[in-house]
Amino acid sequence: MPQSPSFFADRRGLIILASLCCLLWGSAVPAVKFGYGLIGLPPGDTAALLLFAGIRFTLSGLLLLGYGVLSGRPVLLAPKRLGEVALLGLGQTALQYLCYYIGLAHTTAVKTSIMSSSLVFFSVILAHFLYVNDKLTGRRILGCLLGFAGVVAINLSLGPLDASFSLEGEGLLLVSTFAGTLAAIYGRRLSRDMDATVMTGWQLLLGGLTLTALGLVGGGHFERFSLEPARWYSTSPPPPRSPLPSGACC
């Protein structure tokens, strides 16, 4: 009796999953901004921002590795493989989000969304030069242009796009985007002979622990936990520069 094709091998299934991932990832910026207010993090407290990011990714890594154990995947890695995943974690989690979280607190939600969304387009372009079987085509170029134009158009409706540039804001977001692009390409190579769930779990865990350590060494701590500052933070521009954090997506 012929087996039915896998949901993941069906184009419609892939479109549904990709749309779900975009929806979840698009909620990251407003959720992070809400979290800043929920535990009383001022935008200028770099150490606390790193601690916040580190705890989030450490827990995510533990959840994925726990799922790997429950699903029967081998989660223990050889020292060489663990070193490769650690390098991935330093790039894709530690460095990328070190720059992202700090930059997010020092620029507008509109700029954050537009600059962060460029990661996928950078990945497509770099993959053209690094992989012989992943070349740019007319349809891919058109898709990238339409996708980026759509992101810009949607976010311009949320507010004006000024031409200001700062190293702690837009500059760090650019570094974050470039680091994420290189790490994504490196992760793709690793995933050829490594379970993607285990690889992602370890890189989130190791990268998250790095961010947590940086935050603790820098004196990061959480002042309070209250829904009241979260409401204030989501409706007022936190000082000194960050405007209303509304509706941005990555």
9 belongs to a structural domain? no
Q: Which domain holds residue 94?
A: 50-235
Q: Considering only CA atoms, give the Rg of the chain.
A: 19
Residues 6+ apart with CB under 8 A from 209: 54, 58
Q: Within 10 A of 224 (CB to CB), how many other CB atoms are there?
A: 10
139 belongs to a structural domain? yes
What amino acid is encoded at 197 in this protein?
Answer: T
135 belongs to a structural domain? yes
Instruction: Give the predicted TM-score (pTM) of the model.
Output: 0.70
102 belongs to a structural domain? yes
Please give the residue that has the higher pLDDT: either 122 or 207: 207
Q: What are 187-222's pLDDT values in tens digits?
A: 888 888 899 899 999 999 999 999 999 999 988 877
203 belongs to a structural domain? yes
19 belongs to a structural domain? no
Q: What are 63-107's pLDDT values in tens digits?
A: 999 999 999 998 999 999 999 999 999 988 899 888 887 787 777
8 belongs to a structural domain? no
244 belongs to a structural domain? no
Domain count, the chain: 1
